[in-house]
Amino acid sequence: MSVHLEQVAFRYPGSGFDALRDLSLEFAPGLVHLVTGRLGSGCSTLLLVIAGLAPHVTGGSRSGSVVTLGLDPGGSGRRDLAGRIGLLLPTPWTQLSGMAYTVAEEVAFGPANLGWNRDRIREAVDGALRLVELERFADRDPRTLSGGELQRVMFAAIVAMDPAVCLLDEPAMELDLETTEMIYQHLPALARERTVIVATTDLDRAVRVADRVVLLDGGSVIGEGNPADVLGTARAVEAGATTSAARIAYLAGIAPTFPLTVSAAVERFSR
């Protein structure tokens, strides 16, 4: 397992309650894992804990054991994990280095700080920009891009570092439909040699590429397994975390397991 959590709890500074409670989870490489739940259920916090930014940057307190790629990201392993964990924030403008005058420089920022040589950096930047179809933006000032364009740049910046664990928090939040589909289509290939964990509420699209789902509520796991078993349930609908097709099926009063996609719903309702 590349990520292993054992009885993990986390509390933000000044908060009166735990944002994560008694979480024991494993995330294997080769799969696209979705983490979802209603607002405030702890999905983003979980990614921060796996990345080691909580509590190191956020403050607060963590208990339990977190092992990412064999190391504790919140403690002694932090330095050795640099560049091996990529975290895409849902607010891409907060992730800009502030040191780059062009998109290509921005994408090169991570690899350059990992001490790579020029040829390797150039190859990584070109490949990452090609992946998100932003080659023509390479010389643009990142500060002049729209939110959607910027989110693609930051996605490229993560991919360019070739991390073993990719943590993507609402990776399509700023994107239009075409670009959203492009990003999601890349995830299975990205996961082939990595662990990809996506935190999202956009389940209509994300569920199509998900291998496994972790459903959180109030910071606790209330479901875990393949998408149909976890999201096609009344519990998922009531937790505010399922697809439109499943919500319609639930409201229509049919018996679970609810269909997650339109095609599955058409088949179910055509019987």
Q: Which of residues 230-249 bind other proteins (CB under 8 A)?
A: 240-245, 247-249
Does 270 bind other proteins (CB under 8 A)? Our answer is yes
Is 145 near other proteins (CB under 8 A)?
yes
Phi/psi for 145 (5° steps) reads -90, 155
* CB under 8 A, 24+ apart: contacts of 69-74: 69/2, 69/3, 69/164, 69/165, 73/49, 74/49
User: Taking a C-beta distance cutoff of 8 angstroms, is the pair 155, 166 a contact?
Assistant: no
The interface region with other proteins, picked from 75-83, 174-182, 208-216, 225-233 by CB under 8 A, is 174-182
Report 63-122 residues binding other proteins (CB under 8 A).
Answer: 90-91
We find the least distance from the C-beta atom of residue 59 to other proteins, in angstroms, to be: 13
31 secondary structure, DSSP code: S
Among 1, 49, 51, 53, smallest CA distance to 23 is for: 49
Q: Which of 68, 95, 179, 195 binds other proteins (CB under 8 A)?
A: 179
Residue placing its CB nearer to other proteins in the complex, 134 or 164: 134
According to CB under 8 A, which residues from 13 to 32 bind other proteins?
A: 14-15
Q: Of the candidates 30, 40, 75, 225, which one interacts with other proteins according to CB under 8 A?
A: 40
Q: Which is nearer to other proteins, 99 or 266 (CB)?
A: 266
If one asks whether residue 220 binds other proteins (CB under 8 A), the answer comes out as no
Range list of β-strands (E), the chain? 3-11, 20-27, 32-37, 61-68, 85-88, 165-169, 195-199, 212-217, 220-225
Closest CA to 172 of 197, 147, 137: 147
| 8 A C-beta contact, residue 159 and residue 133 | no
Contact residues for other proteins, defined by CB under 8 A: 12, 14-15, 37-40, 44, 90-91, 144-149, 170, 173-180, 201, 204, 240-245, 247-255, 261-262, 265-266, 268-271
